[in-house]
Chains A and B, each alone.
Chain A
Amino acid sequence: MSDAIRSERTRLAAAGARAVAADLSGQPSRDVAKGNAFLAMLLLAMSIALLGLALLLIDAVADGAGRFGISLFTEKASSLPANAGFQDAILGTLWVIGGVILFCVPIGVGAALYLEEYAAKERWWNRLVEVNVQNLAAVPSIVYGILGLAFIVRGPLNLGFIVLAASLTLTLLVLPTVIIAAREAVRAVPDSIRQGSLALGATRWQTIRRQVLPAAIPGVMTGVILAVSRAIGESAPLLLLGAATFVTANPTSPFTEGYTTLPVQIYNFFARAQDDYIQLAAAGIIVMLIVLLAMNSFAIWLRNRYEQRW
């Protein structure tokens, strides 16, 4: 830094200090008022977001607390609200989501590794893939439901209204999120690690398999958990895929026909006239919120625990 610049800065700093000193004795300037108004707006924005969540929680707890208990987990859906529970819906969710995890992890990580490690960024088709992955993440879930109905339940795959069809459809739905998260994780591994590995005579695949992937796993897992949380909460596409039917039996395999999931069951119970069912549905919301909060907390814990600082 040259002396000229330094003395200029000193002069400006001194002028600034004088201006502040002048304010001390005078009225708060308009700038200060503006700053405070802006801060108030930001606080308001945050409160609205929190308020929504708080209202949902209060409403669900007020309605459902009386109904919340172990019987929710031990009883299946029933035509008598007093006997009804969510066991079949919880198991349905587990089966569907288990399938989603099974499919979306290898496909998502594979796609991310290809895009980050192999694809030549300057080729137009790779850029097209990139843009489209981002776009797919924003497609409404009902569109995936229609796709699943046309291509998986019927059409080429013709699987029928079974659990596996729901798993595959939800996999398509969350795959863009998983790919984006996994790409971020892979990109965060510094090049010096790749170079160090290659310089030892490792092949590209050995480098990816033994260095890049292990270092990226925590980030990938975080992304997968967040994506899966989204899949758990989805009901719209499942309504098209056969989860809407009223069932009283637990699903037993990916090929079970006639199943339901938590959000769909909550939706079904709310749609009934009896007050008892409304209470039950509210209790179901509490169950779901607990599951989602637990999963998101686990994702955050995982990220903090295993995050590699370079």
Chain B
Amino acid sequence: MAQDESRAGTGRETREAAAERAAIAVRPGEFRQHAGGRREKVFELKGVGVSYSGAAAVKDISLDVHRNDVTALIGPSGCGKSTLLRCLNRMNDLIPGAAVEGHLLYHGEDLYGPNVDPVQVRKLIGMVFQKPNPFPKSIYDNVAFGPRILGRKENLDEAVEEALKGAALWEEVKDRLDSNAFGLSGGQQQRLCIARCIAVQPDTILMDEPCSALDPISTGKIEDLMIELKQQFSIVIVTHNMQQAARVSDRTAFLMVELDADEDNRWGRLVEYDETEKIFTNPSDKRTEDYVSGKVG
């Protein structure tokens, strides 16, 4: 397993890892190896493309997501950030006509392999959506939904409390766990969705513009929460907000829209992927610099 190799193999490189590096090396400009890149990888994307009914949405994305990092995907509208995010937990499977190509490894295992069950994948890789989407149930039942579908019956109260504490919501809702989740504010609803997600005890949390529907104070709380949560989880976040990416993420991928010759088709392509600090202060690519400095948007 690649996972074990990357943990153990600091000294000698295994043949597979060497081959992997070679594969990456043949795509100059697309991918830059992280200097201290010996950390455990959660996702390894090699030439990943997604298309809807034959029309490409993103093409040829190669990047590694490291454990306990917040990895941000930024870029202009329509560059395929959300599409890319949604293929990491196979939510794209739900869209008829969606197809994923290339290699997408999760802890070294092919996420789109023939024996992989998408339901199982989504238990390990949680997701928080753009618009808070609590279930029309009580706060308690919202959080308990995940453990319940996993068949957990005992210690449900503890699991709910732990998840709500983990999402920094416990103090605000502990006296009204039985009231409907729709009575919460937008920011509280979004933290409830995060609590709901961590109650399943995933390994990774994907967040699709989790703050775009929230006010600045709620946004601040969720950003603090992300920094808190990355101790336990790996987080991939899509954001429109460059400041947000700069504040919370460890690594940032910048995607851009590419057009074909007659400008009929458009798709997203990875321009640069590096440590967040480097992306925002000293990007290697001119296009990244223009985008993060606000010259183009």
Give A contacts to B, CB under 8 Å.
Answer: 120, 190, 192-193, 195-203, 206, 210-211, 214-215, 308
Contact = CB atoms under 8 A, between A and B. Distances in A.
* Chain B, interface residues (CB within 8 Å), range: 20 to 34
A193 B135 contact: yes
B196 interface: yes
Contacts of A202: 119, 145, 149
Contact of B136 (A193, A200, A201, A203): A193
Interface stretch (B88-96, B234-242, B259-267): B88-96
Contacts, number: 62
Interface stretch (B22-30, B66-74, B124-132, B166-174): B124-132
B129 A210 contact: no
B193 A196 contact: yes
A198 B150 CA distance: 13
Contacts of B133: 190, 192-193, 195-196
B126 A210 contact: no
Interface string B142-159: 000110111000000000
Given A195-B129, A199-B126, A201-B119, A206 B135 contact: no
A211 B141 CA distance: 11
Contacts of B120: 201
A204 B145 CA distance: 14
Given A210-B148, A211-B135, 13 more contacts: A120-B96, A193-B135, A196-B134, A196-B193, A196-B196, A197-B145, A198-B91, A198-B94, A199-B91, A200-B145, A200-B197, A201-B150, A203-B149
B119 A197 contact: no
Nearest to A196: B133
A211 B120 CA distance: 19
A203 B117 CA distance: 10
A212 to B, nearest CB: 10
A200 B196 contact: yes
Nearest to B202: A201
A42 B135 CA distance: 43
Interface string B21-43: 00000000000000000000000
Contact of A192 (B89, B131, B146): B131
Contacts of A200: 122-123, 126, 145-146, 149, 196-197, 200
Contacts of B148: 210
A9 B43 CA distance: 55
Nearest to A192: B133
A197 to B, nearest CB: 7
A199 B135 CA distance: 13
B167 to A, nearest CB: 14
A199 B126 CA distance: 6
A199 B145 CA distance: 12
B129 A192 contact: yes
A199 B198 CA distance: 12
Contacts of B197: 199-200
A199 B136 contact: no
A26 B198 CA distance: 72
Contact of B122 (A193, A199, A211): A199
Nearest to A309: B182
Nearest to A121: B96
Interface in B60-94: 89, 91, 94
Nearest to B197: A200
A211 B119 CA distance: 16
B129 A198 contact: no
Nearest to A206: B149
26 contacts: A120-B96, A192-B133, A193-B133, A193-B135, A195-B94, A195-B133, A196-B129, A196-B135, A196-B193, A197-B135, A198-B94, A198-B122, A199-B89, A199-B122, A199-B127, A199-B129, A200-B123, A200-B146, A201-B122, A201-B146, A201-B149, A202-B119, A202-B145, A202-B149, A203-B119, A214-B137
